[in-house]
Amino acid sequence: MTRPVLRIGVMELRRRPGTQRDVHVATALPGLSITGAQVVDGEEIEVDAVLESIEGGITASGTVRVPWTAECRRCLEPVGGVLEVELSEVFEPRPVEGETYPIEGDEIDLEPLVRDAALLNLPLAPLCRPDCPGPAPDSFPTAPVDEATDADVPRDPRWAALDQLRLD
């Protein structure tokens, strides 16, 4: 049985405080999506991090590169890019909920850290470009207004008092 790519052995780091280890990993993580943006299943997420042993834990600092796709919030055309998210997190044997990640035996699992970084930084309402005007009028036509028909419609008598109002 092979160990998952984002599960890193840290036994040597824990034995020698102050030592560092470079980690360069590319892997696919399925199921990363929020309201309108997503990481396409099968796309590789790149992790470049430095693990450093500190008193009582391990720090992970570096970057995560996440390719994403979505629809422009104005014109609904496809838009995408690559997020580059900075990491600086701590792994501890007894993690604090929401603040640090766990060291499990002599391994750390970077997957929860990478998932958190990706999901928290995916754009909620992306634009294809800052000056996107929205959908083309020919693509989404509206019903034509027939002014002659509007003039023939009788007015509601409840609004008749407003006809006498003069704003000079």
Mean pLDDT, to the nearest integer, of 116-142?
Answer: 81
Instruction: Give the pairing of strands 20-28 and 7-9.
Output: unpaired
How far, in Å, CA of 161 to CA of 67, rounded?
61
Model confidence pLDDT, tens digit, residues 29-75:
998 998 889 998 889 999 999 999 998 899 999 999 999 999 998 88
Q: Which pTM does this prediction carry?
A: 0.74
Q: What is the pLDDT of residue 87?
A: 94
Q: What is the pLDDT of residue 47?
A: 96
Q: What is the pLDDT of residue 145?
A: 46
Q: What is the pLDDT of residue 137?
A: 66
Where do we find the tokens 């999506």?
Answer: 33
How far, in Å, CA of 82 to CA of 105, rounded?
34
The larger pLDDT score, comparing residue 17 to residue 100, is at 100
8 Å CB contact between 103 and 118:
no
Phi, psi of 85 (to 5 degrees): -110, 130
Mean pLDDT, to the nearest integer, of 84-107?
Answer: 93
Does the pLDDT of residue 11 top 50, yes or no? Answer: yes
Model confidence pLDDT, tens digit, residues 152-164:
677 788 888 888 8
Q: Which two tokens stand for residue 2?
A: 């092979």
Does the pLDDT of residue 12 top 80, yes or no? Answer: yes
Domain boundaries, the chain: 7-121
Where do we find the tokens 């000079």?
Answer: 168
Mean pLDDT, to the nearest integer, of 71-89?
Answer: 92
**Cβ neighbours around 36 below 10 Å, total:** 17
8 Å CB contact between 62 and 29:
no
